[in-house]
Amino acid sequence: MGSITLEHVNKSFGTHQVIPDVNLTIEDGDFVVFVGPSGCGKSTLLRLIAGLEDTSSGRILLDGQDMTDAGPAKRGLAMVFQSYALYPHMNVYNNIAFPLKMAKLDKATIDAKVKDAARILNLTEYLERKPRQLSGGQRQRVAIGRAIVREPIAFLFDEPLSNLDAALRVNMRLEISELHQQLKTTMVYVTHDQVEAMTMADKIVVLNAGRVEQFGTPMELYRTPANRFVAGFIGSPRMNFVDGAEATKYGVHAIGVRPEHITLSTTEGAWAGEVGVAEHLGSDTFLHVTCGPLGTLTVRAEGEKPLSHGDKVWLTPQPGRIYRFDKDGRTLAAA
């Protein structure tokens, strides 16, 4: 019902190539997140799927049908924008009803669908209000409501939570996941926040400079990152990378260890170091340890650790959790 296939999709602005040759298949019903640093082309890719940008070459199939040259309205997709893009001169009701009016449905059907969507999204009391009279979260829900009523074959989200404050963001994250469980419609979600990606996605596409670095489930990306870029991007705090002499010991160009895969000791271990900044979160303690030639490593220790600036510590990477990278950044078999 809602599969999306990209075949050799290519996009250039002038001489600048933004998307070089992307191949990707999104299965029906999947929640797929495009994640990557800003400027990696994730939004462009989404806009190509939406039809808001034209592909320079390649094909886009929706449900197996070639939609490469179809306009955005013809594709049967719905999109939620970063700025919500609500129509400021219409009230909530008319905002949600707009796509239905454009589809020339009759009044009664429109009314039923709008009321329905409003109920699902807890917007019933606000139907008469104008967007500027709503809070950020409510606006977000109106934008989603406008997307739902079209019953699209897939939803596209373009960084929908980045304008919300932290607490609200966590809430909306849950609401969108909930929505996906209810509707079981394909969703494509763009974000630069790897936490959003990890928590919401069925599958994640990691993009870098327009290239798909890796496509897989969150845990696949976490456990077996295809390369140094993915390894560094997925996971929080970031993976520690060590190159030079220590890496040569492992017979590679560079090695990587996640902060949570380092055993901390105050008496002995593989690498000696001195605590720089210690971040006490209560449940965890993040230590930034300066280890001589290895540079500064981040360590995640569970629970409360009574360590502070200047303390001597020893770090030991857990065996089997050391990632090895060749000089092109590709991941080799784990050591």
Partner 1 sequence: MARAQSNRRIAVMTIIGWTIGILMFFPIFWTAVAAFKTESDAYTLPQNFLTTPWTLENFAIVQERSDYVRYVVNTTLIVVLSTALALALAVPAAWSLAFTPVEKPTSRLSGRAWLAIMLGASGACFIVLYVNGWKVSNFFVGFGLLMLVVIPATIWVWTRNTPGTLLWMLSTKMMPPAGALIPIYLIFNRNGLVFADWGIVDLREFNLMDSLWGMVLLMTLLNLPIFIWMLFSYFKEIPVAILEAARMDGASLWNELFRVLMPMALPGIVSTCLLNIILTWNEAFWSLNLTNKNAAPLSFFISEYSSPEGQFWAKLSAASIMAITPILVIGWFSQRQLVRGLTFGAVK
Structure tokens at 94: 């008319």
Helical (H) or strand (E) element with 48: helix 42-50
Residue 113's region, left for phi above 0, alpha for psi from -120 to 50, else beta, is alpha
- Return the residue of 25, 57, 65, 83 that touches partner 1, per CB under 8 A: 83
State which residue, 23 or 83, has the beta carbon closest to partner 1. Answer: 83
| CB of residue 3 to partner 1, shortest distance in Å | 19
Residues 134-193 binding partner 1 (CB under 8 A) are 146, 150
| CB of residue 101 to partner 1, shortest distance in Å | 8
| CB of residue 87 to partner 1, shortest distance in Å | 6
- Return the residue of 18, 40, 46, 86 that touches partner 1, per CB under 8 A: 86
Q: Tell me if 54 contacts partner 1 by CB under 8 A.
A: no
| 201-to-78, 144, 316 alpha-carbon distances in Å | 18, 18, 32
- Return the residue of 33, 48, 50, 278 that touches partner 1, per CB under 8 A: 50
State which residue, 150 or 253, has the beta carbon closest to partner 1. Answer: 150
- Return the residue of 71, 119, 178, 251 that touches partner 1, per CB under 8 A: 71
Q: How far apart are CA 97 and CA 101, in angstroms?
A: 6
Residue 260 and residue 302 in contact, taking contact as beta carbons nearer than 8 Å: no
| CB of residue 141 to partner 1, shortest distance in Å | 15
- Return the residue of 98, 126, 233, 325 that touches partner 1, per CB under 8 A: 98
Pairing type for strands 4-13 and 57-62 reads antiparallel
Q: Which stretch binds partner 1 (CB under 8 A): 65-73, 193-201, 253-261, 298-306?
A: 65-73
Give me the numbers of helices (H) and strands (E) for the chain, helices first please. Answer: 9, 19
Residues 10-49 binding partner 1 (CB under 8 A) are 14
Q: Tell me if 82 contacts partner 1 by CB under 8 A.
A: yes
| CB of residue 185 to partner 1, shortest distance in Å | 15
State which residue, 86 or 313, has the beta carbon closest to partner 1. Answer: 86
Name the E strands within the chain. 4-13, 16-26, 31-35, 57-62, 65-66, 77-80, 154-158, 186-191, 203-208, 211-216, 240-243, 254-257, 262-265, 271-280, 284-290, 296-302, 312-317, 322-325, 331-332
| CB of residue 81 to partner 1, shortest distance in Å | 5
Q: What are phi and psi of 74, to 5 degrees?
A: -80, -10
Q: For tokens 């140094």, what's the residue?
A: 228
State which residue, 33 or 79, has the beta carbon closest to partner 1. Answer: 79
Q: Point out which residues bind partner 1 (CB under 8 A).
A: 14, 50-52, 71-73, 77-79, 81-83, 85-89, 98-99, 102-103, 146, 150
